[in-house]
Amino acid sequence: MIHHPAKCGKGEGITMTQADREAHEALWAQRVADYQASGLSQPQWAAAQGVPLRRLTYGLHTLRTAAAADPAPTGL
């Protein structure tokens, strides 16, 4: 399990299983793909989806960082 500290509360946090984390990452990968295909600006898309703009920008950054960290295929 992975522990994520909460930003509020009395030091309590959220504990996610690996499956929960993978499902959450897949959800955000789909949301980012939906945003990119929408043709809307980030603020427009976030407002239309009821998603905080900061969460969308974080999702975009996280996926770009993960993509950059993945090694490129060697073609072998």
- Residue extents of the structural domains in the chain: 41-69
Q: Summarize pLDDT for 33-48 with one digit per residue, the tens.
A: 999 999 999 999 999 9
* Res. 27: pLDDT tops 60: yes
Task: Tell me: pLDDT of 12 over 70.
Answer: no
N-term to C-term CA, the chain = 36
Q: Encoding tokens for residue 64?
A: 């770009």
**Coil/strand/helix, residue 68:** helix
**Mean pLDDT over the full length of the chain:** 82
Sign of the C-alpha dihedral, residues 7, 9, 13, 14?
negative
Per-residue pLDDT, 67: 80
